[in-house]
C-alpha cells in the first residue's frame, strides 16, 4: 500500500505486510509518524502492531480452498522460470537450472509461460484512488493483495512511488495504475503520466503516452492508468491488454459516475 501527499511530496508505504488487514492505514501511519518512506515484510507487521493495529489471520475458507486446488493442479499458474524441477509440472522446491563454477547463469534454457498471459481482471485486486479536496489539495493512495499464487516476498508496483501511483501539486496532476505490476514498476508510468500532464497533455493523452512507453518494450503488456488534472478536475484513462477498463468518479455530494475506456 502507498499514500502520497501532493502538497508536501511526502509518502508512506508498506510492502509484503503480513497478518494486518488495513494496509493503507499502516502506510498512512508510516507517513504521519515516521521520517522514512517504506517498511517491508515482518518488520512492517511489527511496526503496525506497535502502532495499535490488530494482528489476525487473513485467510478465508475461499482462499484456503483455492490454495488447495492450486496445489492439486501442480501449482499452476506460478511465476518461476529457468529452474528445476520444471515449474510447469512441479511445485518445487526449485533450484537454479544451470550454474557454473563462476556463478554465471545460463538463461532461457526453456521458456515458461509469459507473466503477461497470467494477468487478468480476476486474479488481482488493486485499488487506486486520487483525491482532491475543496481547497485543491491532492493525494493518491493504492492498496492491493497482489497476484494470486505469487512467489512469497514478491512486491509489485502498487507501493512503489511513480509506478502504482504519483501526485505532484506543482504539476497539477495525479495518476494511479493497475495491471502487470512486475512490468509497470520498471517504467514508472504514473510519474510519466503526471509529467506528461505538466507538459500540456490532456489526462487521456498523458495516460496513453505513459502506457505507450511500456508497450514499445512489452508488446503483450496488460495495464491501465487513470489520470486527473487536479486543477481543472478533468480526468481520463488509457488501457492495454484488456477489452475495456472502467473507473469511477465521485464528487463531494456522494454522486458517482462510472466511466469506461476501450483498450488497445
Based on the residue annotation, tell me whether 126 is a catalytic residue of this protein.
yes
Question: Is 261 in a helix, a strand, or coil?
Answer: strand
Q: Which helix (H) or strand (E) holds 181?
A: helix 181-184
Using CA atoms, how far apart are residues 196 and 171, in angstroms rounded to an integer? 9
User: Taking the mean position of all CA atoms in its chain, how far away is CA 250?
Assistant: 22
What is the rounded end-to-end Cα distance, in angstroms, of the chain?
28
Q: Beta strand pairing status for 38-40 and 10-15?
A: parallel
| Rounded Cα–Cα distance for residues 233 and 247 (Å) | 15
Radius of gyration of the chain (CA): 20
Out of 45, 126, 178, 230, which one is annotated catalytic? Answer: 126
**Rounded Cα gap, residues 203 and 196, in angstroms:** 8
Which residues are designated catalytic? 126
Amino acid at each position: 500500500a502507498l499514500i502520497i501527499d501532493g502538497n508536501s511530496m511526502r509518502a508512506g508505504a508498506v510492502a509484503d505486510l503480513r497478518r494486518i488487514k488495513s494496509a493503507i492505514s499502516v502506510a498512512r501511519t508510516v507517513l504521519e509518524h515516521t521520517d522514512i518512506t517504506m517498511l517491508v515484510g515482518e518488520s512492517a507487521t511489527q511496526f503496525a502492531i506497535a502502532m495499535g493495529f490488530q494482528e489476525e489471520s487473513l485467510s478465508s475458507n475461499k482462499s484456503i480452498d483455492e490454495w488447495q486446488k492450486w496445489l492439486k493442479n501442480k501449482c499452476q499458474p506460478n511465476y518461476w522460470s529457468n529452474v528445476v524441477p520444471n515449474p510447469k509440472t512441479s511445485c518445487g522446491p526449485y533450484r537454479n537450472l544451470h550454474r557454473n563454477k563462476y556463478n554465471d547463469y545460463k538463461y532461457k534454457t526453456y521458456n515458461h509461460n509469459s507473466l503477461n498471459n497470467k494477468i487478468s481482471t480476476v486474479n488481482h485486486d488493486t485499488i487506486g484512488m486520487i483525491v482532491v479536496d475543496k481547497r485543491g489539495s491532492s493525494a493518491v493512495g493504492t492498496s492491493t493483495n497482489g497476484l494470486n499464487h505469487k512467489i512469497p516476498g514478491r512486491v509489485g508496483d502498487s507501493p512503489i512511488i511513480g509506478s502504482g501511483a504519483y501526485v505532484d501539486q506543482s504539476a497539477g496532476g495525479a495518476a494511479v495504475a493497475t495491471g502487470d505490476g512486475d512490468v509497470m514498476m520498471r517504467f514508472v508510468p504514473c510519474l510519466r503520466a503526471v509529467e506528461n500532464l505538466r507538459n500540456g497533455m490532456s489526462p487521456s493523452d498523458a495516460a496513453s503516452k505513459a502506457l505507450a512507453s511500456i508497450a514499445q518494450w512489452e508488446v503483450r503488456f496488460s495495464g491501465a492508468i487513470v489520470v486527473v488534472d487536479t486543477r481543472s478536475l478533468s480526468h481520463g484513462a488509457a488501457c492495454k491488454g484488456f477489452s475495456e477498463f472502467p473507473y469511477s468518479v465521485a464528487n463531494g455530494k456522494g454522486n458517482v459516475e462510472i466511466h469506461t475506456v476501450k483498450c488497445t
